[in-house]
């Protein structure tokens, strides 16, 4: 340990604690210049490409609030059509029998028909069962405390039930209205808040999941669709058949006759019988259309595999009995996500500042090649790096110069004042003119100091100036 300490003490502090600073050196070499400026041009091209391709000039924010309202209708021409599946019975159990198809209206198919936000349930199969009327002392299943109606699970064990398909449910027309509120912050130069309805945006529905998704023209709601007077309300309109086709994320064809894979599904039961769930997120984004940034959105539906869906509804009959309707069908869940952007100068400035940091990469590449790879790397290194003189030695030389200047001035003063020193350097004299105790003190008096002979400048011997023979110090001594 002592040897390390001795070695450390032996080092010059100026060398050990020296400060490194930057120095600008212009290297006159065309090859280095071509390499550097070529790299800078490529980096600038990448910066501008990134800013415009990734829309970094926009301040983006997810929808903070919104709504989705869906309604359905069945065109009159489908109300009289009997599809072929109406004669194919689904797997049944117990006292359950198949009754064919019910030709319901849209109000009967959708449950509940109105008031639901962000979701809609469409009935594809229904099983009906009715309890016996209440018997005394029970007078009403709903209001009499002595009544306890049987549940559906209890009812189907003892009472015959009947199952029906709902005809032409695939041809239901779904109409979706939606809107969002986006907050971009409260900065002075920021875009603030923005509210948008579906009529102000352009949208589409992707068919199939993943990168291979396509969009049929009938599932695109662009400028022509919004401005067409024949379009009712200009809302997003599509059929349930199109939605099921678009939600297929497998290589197999997806329709209501496909086999159900849910845990509770019976053997050979299809999706029409069991029901399933479709997740239909609405993804908002900003896109440049015709030189102008517009807000667009896209439905990306997907069937949730191995799911079934059913709802049990109870209806009180006039005689006091309860009819149970066990509805199986398709549950469509809409969600709103994505990012909506608006031009923001600070976002553009931040992107530019962050991107220009890449310019340092060009300098690092050129300097690495210059100092470690190029044939004349030793010359480049000698030009780039320089060690200054030891500033402790420079300070010592400057202090010696100041002492010589002071001594020279003192000798010149004495030569012009008959050998006397300047007043601030004269010793304190007593009344007799000599140096020593005053006259009030006892003892022998001290004789006065004899006058010094007059001196000329030639007779003054001045200490030699400390001259510099090392040219490296000249530029520091002149400071």
**For the residues of 67-122, what is the DSSP string, one character each?**
EEEEEEE--GGGSS---GGGGSPPP--TTEEEEEEE---HHHHBSS-SS--SEEEE
Count Cα neighbours of 312 within 13 Å in the Cβ-side half-sphere: 8
> Token digits for 453?
């002979």
327, 271: one domain: yes
223, 356: one domain: no
> Token digits for 173?
């027309």
Residue 16 lies in a domain: no
Q: What is the pLDDT of residue 143?
A: 77
Q: What is the pLDDT of residue 24?
A: 78
Element spanning 14, H or E: helix 13-16
What is each CA distance from 452 to 9, 23, 71, 414, 449, in whole angstroms? 51, 58, 123, 10, 9
280, 318: one domain: yes
CA-based radius of gyration for the chain: 49
412, 271: one domain: no
Question: 423: closest CA among 413, 436, 432, 408?
Answer: 413
| Other residues' Cβ atoms within 10 Å of the Cβ of residue 319 | 9
Write the CATH number for 332.
2.60.490
Number of domains in the chain: 3
**Whether the Cβ atoms of residue 104 and residue 141 lie closer than 8 Å to each other:** no
Residue 15 lies in a domain: no
Q: What is the pLDDT of residue 426?
A: 56
| Other residues' Cβ atoms within 10 Å of the Cβ of residue 202 | 19
266, 173: one domain: yes
Q: What is the pLDDT of residue 457?
A: 43
Instruction: Output the CA angle 452-455-456, nearest 5 degrees.
Output: 175
140, 203: one domain: yes
Question: Mean pLDDT for each 10-residue chunk of the chain (479 residues)?
Answer: 65 75 81 89 88 80 85 85 91 91 93 83 96 84 80 90 95 92 63 79 85 80 78 82 89 84 89 95 77 81 92 90 95 91 80 82 87 87 81 85 88 77 57 45 46 45 43 46
| Alpha carbon distance 122, 171 (integer Å) | 12
Q: What is the pLDDT of residue 320?
A: 86
Instruction: List phi, psi (to 5°) of 14.
Output: -65, -35
What is each CA distance from 192 to 286, 337, 339, 383, in whole angstroms? 16, 19, 15, 54
| Alpha carbon distance 206, 194 (integer Å) | 26
Region of 290 (left: φ > 0; alpha: ψ -120 to 50; beta: rest) is left
255, 365: one domain: no
362, 256: one domain: no
Element spanning 287, H or E: strand 276-289
Residue 5 lies in a domain: no
| Alpha carbon distance 398, 206 (integer Å) | 82
241, 352: one domain: no
51, 64: one domain: no
Element spanning 422, H or E: none
39, 112: one domain: no
| Alpha carbon distance 356, 50 (integer Å) | 12
DSSP code, position 313: E
Q: What is the pLDDT of residue 242?
A: 93
Domain membership of residue 402 as a residue range:
390-425+451-479
Q: pTM of the entire structure?
A: 0.65
């Amino acid at each position: 340990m002592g040897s390390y300490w001795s070695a450390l003490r032996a080092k010059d502090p100026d060398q050990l604690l020296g400060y490194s600073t930057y120095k600008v050196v212009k290297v006159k070499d065309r090859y280095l210049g071509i390499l550097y400026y070529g790299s800078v041009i490529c980096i600038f091209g990448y910066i501008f490409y990134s800013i415009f391709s990734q829309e970094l000039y926009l301040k983006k924010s997810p929808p903070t609030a919104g709504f989705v309202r869906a309604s359905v209708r069945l065109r009159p021409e489908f109300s009289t059509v009997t599809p072929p599946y109406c004669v194919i019975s689904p797997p049944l159990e117990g006292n359950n029998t198949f009754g064919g198809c019910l030709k319901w209206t849209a109000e009967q198919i959708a449950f509940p028909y109105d008031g639901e936000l962000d979701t809609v349930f469409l009935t594809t199969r229904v099983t009906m069962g009715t309890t016996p009327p209440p018997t005394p002392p029970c007078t009403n299943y709903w209001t009499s405390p002595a009544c306890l109606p049987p549940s559906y699970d209890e009812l189907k064990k003892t009472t015959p039930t009947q199952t029906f398909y709902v005809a032409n449910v695939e041809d239901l027309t779904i109409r979706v209205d939606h809107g969002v509120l986006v907050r971009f912050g409260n900065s002075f130069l920021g875009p603030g808040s923005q509210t948008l309805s579906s009529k102000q945006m352009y949208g589409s529905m992707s068919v199939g999941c993943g990168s291979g998704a396509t969009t049929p023209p009938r599932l695109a709601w662009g400028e022509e669709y919004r401005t067409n007077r024949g379009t009712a309300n200009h809302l997003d309109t599509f059929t349930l058949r199109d939605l099921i086709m678009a939600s297929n994320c497998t290589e197999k064809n997806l329709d209501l006759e496909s086999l159900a894979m849910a845990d509770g599904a019976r053997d050979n039961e299809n999706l029409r019988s069991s029901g399933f769930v479709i997740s239909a997120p609405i993804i908002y984004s900003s896109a440049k259309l015709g030189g102008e940034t517009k807000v667009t959105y896209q439905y990306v539906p997907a069937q949730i595999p191995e799911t079934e869906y059913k709802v049990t509804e109870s209806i009180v009959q006039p005689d006091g009995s309860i009819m149970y309707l066990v509805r199986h069908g398709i549950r469509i869940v809409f969600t709103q996500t994505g990012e909506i952007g608006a031009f923001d100068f600070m976002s553009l400035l931040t992107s530019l500042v962050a991107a220009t940091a890449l310019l340092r990469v060009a300098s690092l590449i050129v300097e690495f090649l210059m100092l470690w790879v190029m044939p004349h790397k030793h010359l480049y290194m000698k030009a780039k790096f320089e060690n200054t003189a030891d500033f402790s030695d420079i300070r010592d030389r400057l202090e010696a110069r100041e002492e010589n200047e002071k001594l020279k001035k003192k000798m010149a003063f004495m030569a012009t004042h008959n050998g006397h020193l300047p007043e601030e350097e004269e010793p304190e004299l007593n009344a007799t003119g000599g140096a020593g105790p005053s006259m009030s003190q006892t003892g022998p008096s001290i004789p006065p100091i004899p006058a010094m002979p007059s001196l000329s400048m030639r007779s003054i011997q001045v200490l030699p100036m400390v001259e510099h023979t090392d040219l490296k110090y000249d530029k520091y001594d002149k400071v």
